[in-house]
Amino acid sequence: MQNKLKVGFFSFTGCEGCIMVMIESLNYKYAEWGSLLEIKYARALKKKNELDGDGGLDVAFIEGAISTFKEENLLRRIRKNAKKVIAIGSCAANGAPSSQRNNFDEKTLAEIKPIMERFGHKEKVTPIGEHVKVDGVVNGCPMDEAAFVKAVEDALLEFGIRKKSEV
């Protein structure tokens, strides 16, 4: 039995509101979770380790939609490195509201086309589930804090970090 849940928090196209909810959750859960979690990646916490590609993450929590080819490639690397992927927030779960540009009229699309090409943007903004297998979803915009806490608690049980009797 491993002694810490290895997690990563990743953000793609979105407002990073779900990352703020995660940080707020740590404000009151850190005393409890501090000895149970190994945060291997969380840019917002200035914890940026390279993905090692060997399945080094138990759970990858991913917010934001996919709007660039670079994001899509990184998402695929994260999926290969994680035993479980959980989409947090509506951008990751269903693409919206980040996918608003998918509905732009032809004139607006023509205006932004040079910018999209310059920065490697895809034609459509899509949820992460269109690119990789997603094992769970925490809904909301930003994500629901209680549902996020439950997702972490469930993962602690699932990966044997905690026993049911300890909850």
Mean pLDDT of each 10-residue bin along the chain, 167 residues long: 87 94 93 93 75 77 97 95 97 94 96 95 97 98 97 96 77
pLDDT number for residue 56: 87
pLDDT number for residue 46: 75
pLDDT number for residue 49: 64
pLDDT number for residue 50: 60
CB-based contacts of 145, cutoff 8 Å, min separation 6: 21, 24, 25
pLDDT number for residue 57: 94
pLDDT number for residue 146: 97
Residue 98: enclosing H or E segment and its boundaries? none
pLDDT number for residue 54: 59
pLDDT number for residue 52: 57
Beta bridge partner(s), residue 140: 143
Tell me yes or no: is domain 5-166 CATH 3.40.50.700. Answer: yes
Range 51-57, long-range pairs (CB < 8 A, 24+ positions): 51/8, 51/77, 51/78, 51/81, 52/81, 53/77, 53/80, 53/81, 54/81, 55/80, 55/81, 55/82, 55/83, 56/6, 56/81, 57/6, 57/7, 57/8, 57/81, 57/82, 57/83
pLDDT number for residue 155: 97
pLDDT number for residue 43: 82
User: Which residue carries 């934001």 as its tokens?
Assistant: 64
Domain boundaries, the chain: 5-166
pLDDT number for residue 114: 96
